A and B are shown apart, each in its own frame.
Chain A
Amino acid sequence: MSGILGMAQDAGMFMVHQTIGSVLCCKCGIRMQPNAANMCVKCLRSEVDITEGLLKRLVLVHCPECESYLQPPRTWVKLQLESKELLTFCLKKLQKNMNINKVKLVNAEFIWTEPHSKRVKVKVSVQKEVYNGAILEQSYLVEYVQQDHMCESCSRVAANPDQWVAAVQLRQHVSHRRTFYYLEQLILRHGAAARAVRIKQMDHGIDFYFSNRSHGNKFVEFIGKVAPVKSRSDKQLVSHDSKSNNYNYKYTFSVEISPICREDLICLPPKAAAILGNIGPIVVCTKVTNSIALLDPLTLKFGFLDAEQYWRTSFKSLLTSRQLVEYIVFDIEPVSSEITVGGTKYVLADAQVARVSDFGSNDTQFSIRTHLGHLLKPGDHALGYDLYGANTNDMELDRYKGYIPEVVLIKKSYEEKRQKKRAKARSWKLKSLNMEVDDKIKVDEDKRDAEYEHFLKDLEENPELRFNISLYQNKDYQPSEVASVTEDDGEPIPSVPDDELLAANLLAAEFDDLDLIEDGDGEDNMAE
């Protein structure tokens, strides 16, 4: 009918205005506008109950420990009470039943219930077609009973809190812990140990325990990206259900980090030298990420070894940074122009140096070639390896017949200047992982502290080391007005510029800026 009228109206015909008359409801007799059922809404509602056959009472399985709800068959979803997600979750259970009854969901909202009543009430409005065309809308209440049932992970934790399924044993067979301090900062920055159940400090390494094999695997892959490692994994059968053929294992990943560290002096075996294009057997390690960067200090040639290549040849360092000796520079003369290797500039120079221990007592001086021409000036102190006086036990070095330099300078030394400034508080600080320390192993406290201090100094001196680490503003730091930062000769001690520091108050509220140690779980999730 309206179609014909519509067409006529479009054609421009004169249409009489149609007023809808009123009829009596066929049941109760009140005046109403005619509709498809010709009954008033109340009579229609009393006739037809469109909510018949719909679910009104449902069960929600809830884990009280972790506040999550079961989504059959096995997933547990964490949901807040009276949240949109919970509403969607509840309505999904009704959907199939509604589709069977050909009822359309129009609106749904929560009715408030006491949190401890274990009831969730949802008022749902539905629409259905009745009596040839009339659409009736009705709202009704659905009650969800919350049944408490511990989810699998919580019950596993409750049964045995120390239970782990995967363990990652990180080891580096060197006498210092510099790598682990650096790795600790990296791990904190990327939150790689967020899911670790336990972290334990061991001799020559750290153990990480996880509750899931995939978490352990992910951690191993993360380490593989930041350090040159060799890993293997093993599993041990814990229990076996022969009926359903379920096997429970404990998985162990043994990860070994290469013993080559930054600033190490290495004598390359011929095989390794061949891979790298025959750079001189004495090389300095400049950077260790997931590959090792080696620099020949005499020719400024460099090479990279990635983890696989390294472990195939697996050489050890000749001298490590413990054996650095301080030298004083008398004269320096650049030989080549500035060369950039992997982001760092080097200038080859000839230098006259003498050991600080020799300085003043005898005339022993060395003429050497060094790659630090851009840094050193006459009168500077530098740290380097004393090959002239060193007593090494290296087969490769013994085999090598060619020229071996007497001194290899590694870096400039700021020790003198630092001593003048006496243990000043730094303007920045670092967080640390929550590690258990094994009481049985004797720990040399002084040695540990000295190593940590050395690590912090390293961070100050090398901006590229700071790249992947989060440094935080130390609220306790007050710049002292008395001692000026710059020294007599105008050269400042390396320090961390303020813009690199993260303000503590920018982070999540849980961060307590006075407390350096915090839990491994929550705060490791912060993003920079």
Chain B
Amino acid sequence: MATRLQFENNCDIGVFSKLTNAYCMVAIGGSESFYSVFESELSGVIPVVKTSIAGTRIVGRLCAGNKNGLLLPHTTTDQELQHLRNSLPDQVVVQRIEEKLSALGNCIACNDHVALTHTDLDRETEEIIADVLGVEVFRQTIAGNILVGSFCSLSNRGGLVHPHTSIEDLDELSTLLQVPLVAGTVNRGSEVIAAGMIVNDWTAFCGSDTTATELSVIESVFKLRDSQPSVIVDEMRKSLIDSYV
């Protein structure tokens, strides 16, 4: 189920938050209603961690992670590193990496099995990614843009890419990632997908400018519609009550 929300009247929530299957990170300094949305969706299941990275609030774009690990830029302070290590579950490996391209969220798009990276990433960083996140790494461009982390949003069930991606590119990426991909937009025609939305296997959050069409596209490609517990019960009810009248 996809939810629409805003961070301080800004629809680019993917900038201020990061969502994976094991944890959720949000920026500090926002209003309580922002957190309450996350908490209402996720609190029982995964921890929602408030943090800053390198003293900034743009946590979504600076770090990259999945259920296995989290990668932080070299600008992260020790306190933040410690705070994250404490707050996140133990199986999540928190690693700070020395990489010239420090906006890891813009450079790396990953799910639990496979990652797409910026073409100019260091060799060592690629190895660390493969190591820490436990993924297969592919250097790719999306619609000719090298910032793959910004223009694509991945989960284990599907992915949404830049709207100008050609059909050949879509096929190629889909083969690499082994998930269905669709080209679309978010936040009323914005092409920067990952800045406008965050997603994991059962839920997604989008900026409030997202139109109903975009929302339906997101829900269908990430297969979010059928993942609520209530849906399953409803289906069961249909089969149980078959000869009522």
* Residues on A facing B (Cβ under 8 Å): 1-2, 4-5, 16-29, 34, 37-39, 131
Contact = CB atoms under 8 A, between A and B. Distances in A.
Interface stretch (B74-82, B93-101, B120-128, B167-175): B167-175
11 contacts: A1-B143, A1-B164, A21-B166, A21-B170, A26-B188, A26-B189, A26-B214, A28-B213, A34-B164, A38-B189, A38-B190
A39 B164 CA distance: 13
Given A17-B168, A29-B216, A38-B189, A23 B184 contact: yes
Interface string B141-170: 001110000000000000000011111111
Contacts of B189: 26, 37-39, 131
B145 A18 contact: no
Given A23-B163, A23-B183, A23-B185, 13 more contacts: A1-B143, A2-B144, A18-B166, A21-B167, A26-B188, A27-B188, A27-B213, A29-B216, A34-B163, A34-B164, A34-B183, A39-B189, A131-B189
Contact of B185 (A1, A19, A22, A26): A26
Contacts of B165: 21
A38 to B, nearest CB: 4
A23 B145 CA distance: 18
Nearest to B143: A1
Interface string B103-133: 0000000000000000000000000000000
Interface residues of B, number: 24
B191 interface: yes
B211 interface: yes
A18 B163 contact: no
A4 B185 contact: no
Contacts of A20: 164, 166-167
Contacts, number: 57
A27 B190 CA distance: 12
B217 interface: yes
A21 B183 contact: yes
B150 to A, nearest CB: 14
Interface string B190-217: 1100000000000000000001111011
B145 A1 contact: yes
| Residue of A20, A23, A25 ringed by the most chain B CB atoms within 10 A | A23
Given A1-B145, A34-B183, A26 B211 contact: yes
Contact of A24 (B144, B164, B217): B217
Please provide the 10 A-B residue pairs with the shortest distance between their CB atoms, ordered closest to farther. A1-B144, A38-B189, A29-B213, A18-B166, A34-B163, A19-B167, A38-B185, A23-B163, A26-B189, A21-B167
Contacts of B190: 38
Which secondary structure characterizes the binding site on chain B? mixed
A38 B191 contact: yes
A24 to B, nearest CB: 5
A5 B144 contact: yes
A319 to B, nearest CB: 103
B31 to A, nearest CB: 27
Contacts of A24: 184, 213-214, 217
B103 to A, nearest CB: 21
B169 A18 contact: yes
Contacts of A27: 188, 211, 213
A28 B188 CA distance: 11
A26 B168 contact: no
A20 B190 CA distance: 18
Contacts of B185: 23, 26, 38
A24 B143 CA distance: 17
Contacts of A1: 143-145, 164
Contacts of A5: 144
Contacts of B217: 24
Contacts of A16: 168
A131 B190 CA distance: 10
A25 B143 contact: no
A34 to B, nearest CB: 4
A26 B213 contact: yes
A19 B143 CA distance: 12
Nearest to A3: B144
A21 B211 CA distance: 20
Contacts of B167: 19-21
Contacts of A18: 166, 168-169
Nearest to A4: B144
B57 to A, nearest CB: 25
Contacts of B183: 21-23, 34
A25 B216 CA distance: 12
B161 to A, nearest CB: 10
B153 to A, nearest CB: 15
A23 to B, nearest CB: 4
A24 B190 CA distance: 13
Nearest to A17: B168
A260 B100 CA distance: 105
B217 to A, nearest CB: 6
Nearest to B216: A29
Nearest to A44: B189
Nearest to A28: B213
| Residue of A16, A21, A29, A39 ringed by the most chain B CB atoms within 10 A | A21
B143 A38 contact: no
B164 to A, nearest CB: 5
A27 to B, nearest CB: 6
A19 B145 CA distance: 17
Contacts of B211: 26-27
A1 to B, nearest CB: 3
A236 to B, nearest CB: 77
Contacts of B170: 21
Contacts of B145: 1
Interface in B211-244: 211-214, 216-217
Contacts of A23: 163, 183-185
A29 B216 CA distance: 9
B113 to A, nearest CB: 24
B24 to A, nearest CB: 26
Contacts of B213: 24-29
Nearest to B186: A26
